[in-house]
Structure 1
């Protein structure tokens, strides 16, 4: 990360900043993965020495077992794909409750969240505004402090705001022996917590520059958004020896078309209008969990080894359970 820090302090073109943001995200994701593998839970033991609890699996009839495929992975966008709403909004409200923000900041966050829920897509100006304010507020603060706060904030958010259908798709890929990665413009500290609580392999998020364990108020490269997400996926694929033609990606936003176009099996979840049009033109599968209506089946053959039919079954069961009266 030292070399990346030196690079980000220099004047860079937009293309160079995008590539740098992607490389930084991939490097941070690999570092998180190595740290996780070194924990007791990764070796099958809980911190107190007892066997670690295994995550729940879908019933046997909900999926078709397939061989492990170390060169395949699934990449999931976060906001409105896995999470109802925007992670940065929940982070902002959580920080306000801990006196990081003013009421005026919260009003701005609320307006941005209302826009997101109404139009189903990110506004780049809103994202940049949130980024600038957040960076200014965390400058000089310890990374460990923010990570502890994020743990508190997102434990409750994950419980209440995850789309059951997308969660079933994540589990389907894990059951198929494939790695699953969250890819989001949210800070890496937030991304790794969401990924960990969902049992995912890891996360690619926006990397904030740090020196001696404190935030500087700058990003490494820039926000992991749009083309930068695609750069991060490519960088991680090189590091992890993934075959992108055998990988899948899931997103709700036309901003993520570069990432979706990278993989052999793109899937569209809760799409905005622009992405829905693009998906129809490209023949990408569409699934919408917002109303419970069936996904538009638009002619992409099931990916070998991905268990797409099994994923559809698991998702339908999850949605049916959600609609069933208590």
Structure 2
């Protein structure tokens, strides 16, 4: 059964919900389903059962667990493999900078993101992209993990709790990152596929903002977690919905908006950036917003040229 068909069995929702709310809920439920399935497969191999079954930790990825945006690192790796050009990649980076600094998550903008995210991989094998993700993690991501954030994740693991990544990055790539870090699993944006071939569309919405909160709630219901005993970590004010559904919220390398909110609400703040290092990650940081909103969007121009050729 395809992810597309499996995702559309959610119960009817209140009429007052907006279309965006419904898409966010669909995205969250699809992500929780995919994350649970992947984690069960990984845990079956490890045959480990955490002693604390009702508490867990949820970590954002971009600029929280990893320096910069994971999807941008992935796009760099694909560009090196001629999936699209260096100029396309540069344009993608610039558009993401503009989106973070001056852009708004307008209805039209998010609709365009839904339509074009991953469109250039339409018809490609999901297994092949996962294989490339493994290679690209080793090449471009492994050395960008924040040691301090990883230590926090390890602390939860040592306490017998499960640890999940929650990110707008495609679920398969997020799962690779989680597995390489020895974590339980990952909640990510679900790309629609049929018979192992990507359709170029998303299931519901990008896992961003409210969709992350939906995903965490849905996973908690599936896994029997008590959200009051759970902890969430993020760098971005966009993740306030996710941070607000757990008992303990921690701002890690926070942007100005999240830092202000954390101070107002009494949330703990952890900042692993210092001096020159903090300055160095300034540009990658702006690439973290709406991660998959441009997810590999640099390839769209290439894909269009390819189709017209």
| Alignment match, 1:38 | 44
* C-alpha distance after superposition, 1:128-150 (max 9, x if no partner): 87775551111000110100000
| Alignment match, 2:25 | 19
* TM score, norm. by length of structure 2: 0.78
* TM score, norm. by length of structure 1: 0.74
Change (3 A) 1:87 1:131: farther
Cα contact 1:73–1:178 (8 A) shared by 2? yes
* C-alpha distance after superposition, 1:82-106 (max 9, x if no partner): 0000011101111111111123321
3-state DSSP class of the match of 2:118?
helix
How many angstroms does 1:159 deviate by? 2.4
2:262 to 279, 283, 296: 279
| Alignment match, 1:309 | none
- Worse-superposed segment, 103-112 or 236-245: 103-112
Superposition map of 1:1-326 within 5 A: 1=3, 3-6=5-8, 13-39=19-45, 42-43=46-47, 68-112=51-95, 124=105, 133-291=116-274
CA distance in 1, matches of 2:195, 2:110: 27
| Larger RCO (alpha carbons 8 Å, 6+ apart) | 2
3-state DSSP class of the match of 2:166?
strand
How many angstroms does 1:36 deviate by? 1.2
Root-mean-square deviation (CA), in Å?
A: 2.7
Cα contact 2:233–2:249 (8 A) shared by 1? yes
* C-alpha distance after superposition, 1:7-66 (max 9, x if no partner): 69xxx8111111000000000001101211333xx148xxxxxxxxxxxxxxxxxxxxxx
CA distance in 2, matches of 1:112, 1:153: 22
Structure 2 stretches lacking a partner, 5+ long: 11-17, 276-309
Runs of 4+ residues over 6 Å off in structure 1: 125-131
How many angstroms does 1:164 deviate by? 0.6
Cα contact 1:4–1:220 (8 A) shared by 2? no
Cα contact 2:236–2:254 (8 A) shared by 1? yes
CA distance in 1, matches of 2:209, 2:145: 22
Cα contact 2:7–2:30 (8 A) shared by 1? no
- Bigger radius of gyration: 1
3-state DSSP class of the match of 1:263?
coil
* C-alpha distance after superposition, 1:219-244 (max 9, x if no partner): 00010000000000000000000000
Aligned pair count reads: 264
CA distance in 2, matches of 1:133, 1:2: 17
CA distance in 1, matches of 2:58, 2:34: 16
CA distance in 2, matches of 1:145, 1:285: 41
* C-alpha distance after superposition, 1:73-125 (max 9, x if no partner): 00000000000000111011111111111233211233256569x96x99758
3-state DSSP class of the match of 2:79?
helix
3-state DSSP class of the match of 2:187?
strand
